[in-house]
Amino acid sequence: MGRTTLVLALLLPAFASAQTMQGHHPGGMTAAQVGQPMAAIPTQPGQGAFAAIQEIVEILEADPTTDWSKVNIEALRQHLIDMDNVTLHADVKTETVEGGMMFVVSGAGPIRASIQRMVVAHAATMNGVGGWQFVAVTTDTGATLTVKTPAADILKLHGLGFIGVLTHGMHHQMHHLMIARGGDPRHG
């Protein structure tokens, strides 16, 4: 083995390792800067709402057209609180209606207010999409959401239930970005 070949054989593993360590640490530092191999750096921020906010902040920072005078991360945080309240703390009773289902969603205090905001906004955003009809009505204890579907989707509706219906449509991510950019926190 010649001297050049030996030097290359010794340097290639170090070069490859250095390339691997060029990945960025979530705090903006590279793995090499924090002195850790890439595999040892955690990727999960530990909490779902925090992760959603972190992702949006990274998108805003990477976009040179971001108008920071309009950015409102606190509005996004409040929306995520509503999502948490409805997802984890609301009481849901389900009734079968002709052509669909009615969800009676209730809670007290801030949970009731979250239900009203989320259910009404979701119905307004998704009404008519895929032939599904949404009617939301606020009540003293929260809201009702009546969903009617084409006959072919009735089993899907039953399988999704209330929270599955709220997640249906993959529109939340862009909605979160819109809120953070200073848009109306309601769907639409």
Domain range summary for the chain, segments of one domain joined by +: 3-36, 49-180
Mean pLDDT of the 148-166 span: 97
* SS3 of residue 145 by DSSP: strand
Residue corresponding to tokens 């979530």: 26
Span 1-42, pLDDT tens digits: 554 444 334 444 444 444 443 444 455 555 555 565 566 777
Provide the pLDDT for residue 4. Answer: 44
Cβ–Cβ under 8 Å, residues 73 and 180: yes
Identify residue 173 by its one-letter amino acid code: Q
Residue 81 pLDDT > 80: yes
Phi first, then psi: what are they for 10, rounded to 5°?
Answer: -80, -35
State the Rg of the chain over Cα.
Answer: 24
Residue corresponding to tokens 């926190």: 185
pTM of the shown model: 0.74
Span 108-131, pLDDT tens digits: 999 999 999 999 999 998 999 999
Provide the pLDDT for residue 21. Answer: 39
In the Cβ-directed half-sphere of 45, how many Cα atoms lie within 13 Å? 11
Residue corresponding to tokens 């992702």: 55
